[in-house]
Amino acid sequence: MVLFIGILLRKRLLQYTVLVGHMYLLTRVLESIALASIVLNLIPSVRISGDYGYFLAMLILGLGSIPMCLTLHKHNIAPSWLSLWGVIGYTIFSFGFFMELFGREWSMYLLMLGGLWEITFAIWLIMSAGVHKLQ
């Protein structure tokens, strides 16, 4: 699912900026790899901290989503308030997971804004797709 989102948004982002389109897909691929490292723990001889795989995946997600939100804002793809909320939310989100890599348990407190943005953005996408269908 993570890669599917990256592929779909990459296609749209490439219309506006090639670098951000490719970078967004790359960060989603890296996020998938980091999340897959957690599954490797099912193999008895492998010992990778599932927490670090998750923290790294979320940090990559946040850092890759900031330029995507800036592109949404710069090219008026999404409402300005929604794009800026994404930039702020993902910056705070990324900082929280960056601190987790150093043993500071901050992510739980700093992921709310980014998480709510993802829900709101999904609703906005669904509603705007419906409006375009009616036109």
Helices (H) and strands (E) in the chain, counts: 6, 0
Mean pLDDT on 37-65: 79
Complete DSSP assignment for 26-67: HHHHHHHHHHHHHHGGGSTT----HHHHHHHHHHHHHHHHHH
Domain count, the chain: 1
Containing structural domain, residue 34: 2-134
Averaged pLDDT of the chain:
87
pLDDT digits (tens, 9 = 90+) for 90-124: 999 999 999 998 888 888 888 899 989 999 999 99
pLDDT digits (tens, 9 = 90+) for 13-35: 999 999 999 999 999 999 988 88
Mean pLDDT on 42-58: 75
14: number of Cβ within 10 Å: 15
User: Residues 105-135, buried b or exposed e (16+ Cβ, 10 A)?
Assistant: eebeebbebbeebeeebeeeeeeeeeeeeee
Mean pLDDT on 66-75: 96
Note the pLDDT of residue 132: 59
What is the pTM assigned to this prediction? 0.85
Predicted confidence (pLDDT) at residue 8 exceeds the cutoff of 70: yes
Using a pLDDT cut of 90, give the percent of the chain over it: 52
Q: What whole-number distance in Å separates Cα of residue 130 and Cα of residue 68?
A: 23
Note the pLDDT of residue 135: 47
